[in-house]
Amino acid sequence: MATTQPVGHRIPVPPDFPVEWDDPSHENLFWTRERMHYPEPVKPVIESLDPEAGLNFAAETYDLPIRYHARVINTYRYTAVSPVTMDPEELAAIGERAMENVKPVLARFGEIWETEMLPEIKEHLAYWDSFDLRGATTPELLVHFDETVRRFRRLWDIHFMVGLPMLLSMSLFDDFYRDLFGNQSAFDAFRLLQGFDNKTLETDRALWQLSRKALALPAVQRILQEQAVADVVPALEQSPECAGFLAELRAYLDEYGQRCATSGGNVFDPAEPSWIENPAPVIKNLKDYITQPDRDLEAEMAKQAAERERALAETRERLRGYPQPVVGQFEALLKAAQDGVVLSENHDFWIDFRGSYRIRRVLVELGCRLAGAGAVDSPDGVFYLKFDEIRETLAAVPTPDRRELVAQRKAEMAHFRTITPPPALGTMPPGPPPDDAAGRTLIKFFGGPPQPPTEPGVLRGGPGSPGTVSGTAKIVRSLAEAAKLEPGDILIAETTAPPWTPLFATAAAVVTETGGILSHCAVVAREYGIPAVVGAAMATTMIEDGQTVEVDGDTGIVRVISPD
Amino acid sequence: MTTGVETETDILWLGEVACHDRSLVGGKAAQLSRLAAGYRVPPGFCLTSTAFAGARSHGHVGTGIGNQPVALPPSLFDKLTAAYQTLATRTSLEAPPVAVRSSATDEDGSAASFAGQHDTYLNIAGIDAVAEAVIRCWASFSSERALAYRRQQGLSLDTVHPAVLIQHLVVADVSAVMFSANPVTGKRDEIVINATWGLGESLVSGTVTPDTYLIRKADLTVTGREIGEKQRMTVAIPEGTREVDVPRLLRRQPAIDDAQAIEMAQLARSLDEAMGFPVDVECAFSGDRLYLLQCRPVTRLPASK
C-alpha cells in the first residue's frame, strides 16, 4: 500500500498549516480531520497512547480489506484509510472473507461481550485498582506505567473488536430493512433497536433519580437553586440536613463518575479531570433537572420500548409471507443489532470511561513525580510529554528540565487553536468509496460528505433522531460551556462526546457538525426521544447563540427562524 | 333430489381416485390429484363441476357478462366449510392460506391451454374469503374474455363444466423448476435445477437469475453449480403475492445446499421414471419439506448428443 501510485489530485496545503510527511507515501493517502472524536487540538500524551492502534488489531483479526492510519498534524488529529491491495477483485474477495469472519461474532455478539470481553476488561480495571500509586517508588511506578500502557492498548484492541461488529451489526440491519421494505423514513429500522437499557441511560437515569430526591429535600433543593455550580458541594457539606443526599451524590460519582473529558470537546483526553475530581457537570445537570419537577423521564424512556415492540410486531406480520431464510436472516441481524446498540454505549462505559480514568490516575501520579523533581512546573505538564520523554525524564539523574519543552508544546497548541485546520490533506481519492457494507457503515457512523447550504438560513445535515422542534440555539463547544444550556434550548455542538448525554434531558433537540445516524449522539437522542440533526457542517459557526432555530430530525434540516 | 350423489361428488380431495376424473375436476386438478397419490403435493380439494351444476340449478350462479356473483347454496357452503376445516387440520394452521383456481373440465391441455384465461386467487385465508373466491372463479367462466377465448378456440359454450381447485398455498422458502433432461443440450442423463428464494412466480416469469445446479441422473452427483445474483423474489402478501427486492446480503447466497439439490433431483428422476419421459417439474421447499407443485412433459427437447 505504501507504493500506491497517486491517482487523485494533491490537496493544496494552506500556508499557515505546513505539513511534513515522515513517510512520503502517506501523502498519497486521503487524510480527513477526525472531528467527531477530536474537534480540538490534542495533547502530545494522546499521540503516544494512540488508542486507535486497536483499530488495526481488529482489522487484522477480522481480516478486513482496509487498514487505518491516524496521525496528529499540527496538533489536530487526521485519519486515513488504505486498502490492503490495489487489485479490486482481490479486495472484493477479502471483503467477503471479512464478512464471513465477522458473522460468527454477530451471531453471539452479546454473549461474547458478557462472557469473554467484559470479564477481561474488569480484570484489567482490577489490576489498576490494586496498585498503590502513591506508595510506589518511582522505579516501581515506571514498571507499572509500562504495564499500564500494555493493558491500555489491550483494552483498545477489545474496544475495536467490539466496535467494528457493533457498527456493522446496526448498519447491516438497517441495509437489510431498507432492502426489504424500502425507505419510508431514515429511522424505520432503528425503531426496532430502541428502548433497551444501557450504561449511558443507566448513568443518566440514576442522576435523574438523584434530582427527584433533591426535590423532596427542601434544604438540598434550595442549595441547588441558589448556589453557583462550583459552590453547591461546599454548601451541601456545611448543611447537616444535606448529609444523606451528599452521601448519595458521592456514591453516584464513585459509580458513574469514573470518566474524563468532562470539560473539553475531545472525546478522549486524560488531562481532563473525572467527575469524581470535578463534579461540576453533574451539579449543572442536577440544577437543570430540578427545574422540571413534574416530568417523568423514566416513563418517557419506557415508551421507547413499547414503541419498539409495536413496530416489531408490525414488521413480523409483514414478513409472514416471506421465505424463512429471509425471515431468519432478519431475526439474526435484528438480534445482533439490538446487542450492537446496547454495546455501542456499554463499551464506552467500561473502556472509554473507566479505562481512561485509570490511565489518567497513573499519568497524574507520574505528573506529580515530574513536578516534584522539578522537571515540569505542575503535574499537568505530564500531558504535554510523550511516553518516552516521561520515562527518560523520571529515570535520568539528574532530572532533566522539561519546562521549556512543555511550554513550547502548549504554545504550539495555543497557536493552532487560532487556526482553522484544513478538512482534508494528502491526495484526493480517485472516486467515491465503494458502496459496500463496510463503506455504508462508516458513512452512517462518521456521516456523509458535508452538504453545502442551498438557501440562506438553512443548514443541511443528516437525520439523527426523529421529530421537529424549535428553540433557542446554544452553541456549546465544550462541556464547560454547557452552563448556558437551559431546558428547552437547542444544543448545538461540533460533536457530543458520550459524557454530554445527561444534557439531553435538558435540551429540546441536538445539532452536531459531525457524525451520522449511528453516532453516539444520534443513538442516545433517539433513546431520549428528542430530535437530532447530525453532520450539519458549520452549525456552530453559522448559527449564533440565542437565535431561534427549528430542528427537523427526520429530514436533517436546521432552519434559522429568527435572526436574534 | 339427488342429494346422495351430490354429497359424494361435490368435493373431492387431491389424491382420491375419484379426483383423477377430469370430467369432474378439470384437467389441471385431475393431473395434480394423480401426482398427489404418490408424491408430496400441497393438500387441496376441488369443488367439482357437479357442485357447480347443482348451484346453477338452484339459481346461485350468475351467468352472462357483468353478473354479480351470488352466494353459495347453504348446503355447499357447509361442505366447503367442513373441507376447509379439514385442510386446517391437515396443515396444522388455523386459517391455512390457499390458492383458489378455476379448472375447466374440458381443459385437457391437448390443444387449448387455458393458462391465464380463468381466475386464480392466491393467498386466500379464512372460509368467507375462500367462498368469495369460489364464486368469483365460477363467474369468471362466463366472463367476456373467457367466452371470447372459447369461441376463438372453437370450444363449446355449453359443455363447460367449471370446477374450482382449493389448494394449500405453501409459503415457499425456495422455489425451483427442474428438468429431468437438459433442455439446452438435450442430454438425457443430466438433471437441471433452477432455484430461487420465495414463491415460484419470479422464476417462471424470468425476472430473476436463479441458482443453477447440474446433477448427473445416474448417481445424483452435483456436477455443476452456479449461484445467480437473485435480485427479485415473490412473497405472499394478504390476498395475493408480490414481487420484491431480495436484500443485498442474500442475493449471492445459495438458495439451496447440495443436499437439497440432490433431494430435488431425486424427485425429478422418480417422476421421469414413473412417466416414462423427461419432465419439467415445479417444486418448492417449505422448511425441510419438499413439495411437488407441477409436473409436465418437457416440450421441444433438442436431440441428445
pLDDT tens column, A300-353: 888 999 999 999 999 999 998 899 999 999 999 999 999 999 999 999 999 989
The pLDDT confidence band at residue B144, using thresholds 50, 70 and 90, is low
Count of other CB atoms within 10 angstroms of residue A162: 27
> Which region among A184-188, A450-454, A518-522 has the lowest average model confidence (pLDDT)?
A450-454
pLDDT digits (tens, 9 = 90+) for B190-225: 999 999 999 999 998 889 999 999 999 999 999 999
- Looking at residue B44, what is its pLDDT? 96
The pLDDT confidence band at residue A66, using thresholds 50, 70 and 90, is confident
B171 touching chain A per CB within 8 A: yes
Report chain B residues whose CB lies below 8 A from the CB of A323: 171-174, 197-198, 233, 235
Chain B, nearest residue to A171 by Cα: B249
Cβ(A241)–Cβ(A337) below 8 Å: no
What is the percent of chain A where pLDDT is above 90?
74
The span from the CA of B280 to the CA of B262, in Å, is: 16
Phi, psi of A179 (to 5 degrees): -60, -40
Give the mean pLDDT of A116-136: 97
Per-window interface: A 115-174 vs B, CB < 8 A: 172
Q: Which position has the higher pLDDT, B112 or A459?
A: A459
pLDDT digits (tens, 9 = 90+) for A399-421: 999 999 999 999 999 999 999 99
CA distance A180 to chain B (A): 6
Cβ(A379)–Cβ(A364) below 8 Å: yes
Give the mean pLDDT of A198-212: 94
B287 touching chain A per CB within 8 A: yes
Cβ(B216)–Cβ(B250) below 8 Å: no
- Looking at residue B61, what is its pLDDT? 63
Supply the mean pLDDT for chain B.
Answer: 85
Q: Quick one: DSSP state of residue A499?
A: G
The pLDDT confidence band at residue B142, using thresholds 50, 70 and 90, is low
| Contact: A321, B233; criterion CB under 8 Å | no
Chain A, nearest residue to B239 by Cα: A321
Q: How many Cβ contacts (< 8 angstroms) between chains A and B?
A: 56
Q: Of A260, A255, A251, nearest to A281 (Cα)? A: A260
A326 touching chain B per CB within 8 A: yes
The span from the CA of A512 to the CA of A531, in Å, is: 12
Cβ(A458)–Cβ(A559) below 8 Å: yes
Supply the mean pLDDT for chain A.
Answer: 91
- Looking at residue A436, what is its pLDDT? 82
Give the mean pLDDT of B244-270: 95
Per-window interface: A 433-472 vs B, CB < 8 A: 437
| Contact: A179, B233; criterion CB under 8 Å | no
- Looking at residue B102, what is its pLDDT? 85
C-alpha cell at A162: 467490539
Give the mean pLDDT of B27-32: 88
Cβ(A474)–Cβ(A500) below 8 Å: no
Phi, psi of B10 (to 5 degrees): -65, -40
| Residue with cell string 478486513 | A64
ipTM: 0.83
Taking the complete model, does pTM exceed 0.90, yes or no? no
Cα-only R_g, chain B: 20
Can you name the residues that pair with B297 across neighbouring β-strands? B279
Report chain A residues whose CB lies below 8 A from the CB of B246: 179, 326
C-alpha cell at B299: 416440450
Residues near B140 by Cβ (< 8 Å), separated by ≥ 6? B102, B118, B119, B146
Phi, psi of B82 (to 5 degrees): -65, -40
β-strands A509-512, A532-534: how paired?
parallel
| Contact: B249, A179; criterion CB under 8 Å | yes
B94 touching chain A per CB within 8 A: no
Give the type of residue at A429.
Answer: P
Nearest to B248 among A179, A320, A325 (CB): A179
DSSP letters, B130-194, are: HHHHHHHHHHHHTSHHHHHHHHHTT--SSS--EEEEEEE----SEEEEEESS-TTT--TTEEEEE
C-alpha cell at B39: 408424491
- Looking at residue B4, what is its pLDDT? 42
Cβ(B285)–Cβ(B173) below 8 Å: yes
The pLDDT confidence band at residue B240, using thresholds 50, 70 and 90, is confident
Nearest to B245 among A179, A320, A325 (CB): A179
Q: Of A69, A59, A67, nearest to A27 (Cα)? A: A69
A179 touching chain B per CB within 8 A: yes
Per-window interface: B 62-91 vs A, CB < 8 A: none
> Which region among A15-24, A122-131, A497-506, B64-73 has the lowest average model confidence (pLDDT)?
B64-73
Chain A, nearest residue to B172 by Cα: A323
Chain A, nearest residue to B247 by Cα: A179
Report chain B residues whose CB lies below 8 A from the CB of A329: 247, 249-250
DSSP letters, B78-102, are: HHHHHHHHHHHHHHT-SS--EEEEE
The pLDDT confidence band at residue B66, using thresholds 50, 70 and 90, is very low
Please list the helix, strand and coil fractions of chain B in percent, rounded to the nearest 5, in that order.
35, 25, 40
Count of other CB atoms within 10 angstroms of residue A211: 23
Mutation site, B211, B227, B250, interface A, largest A CB count within 10 A: B250
β-strands A557-562, A490-493: how paired?
unpaired
Cβ(A241)–Cβ(A469) below 8 Å: no
| Contact: B235, A323; criterion CB under 8 Å | yes
> Which region among A71-85, B70-84, B103-117, B260-274 has the lowest average model confidence (pLDDT)?
B103-117
Cα-only R_g, chain A: 24
Q: Quick one: DSSP state of residue A26?
A: G
DSSP letters, B13-68, are: ETTSGGGG-HHHH-HHHHHHHHHHHHS-PPPEEEE-HHHHHHHHHTT-S--STTPP
Give yes or no for residue A120 having a pLDDT over 90. yes
> Which region among A80-84, A376-380, B122-126, B175-179 has the lowest average model confidence (pLDDT)?
A80-84
Give yes or no for residue B79 having a pLDDT over 70. yes
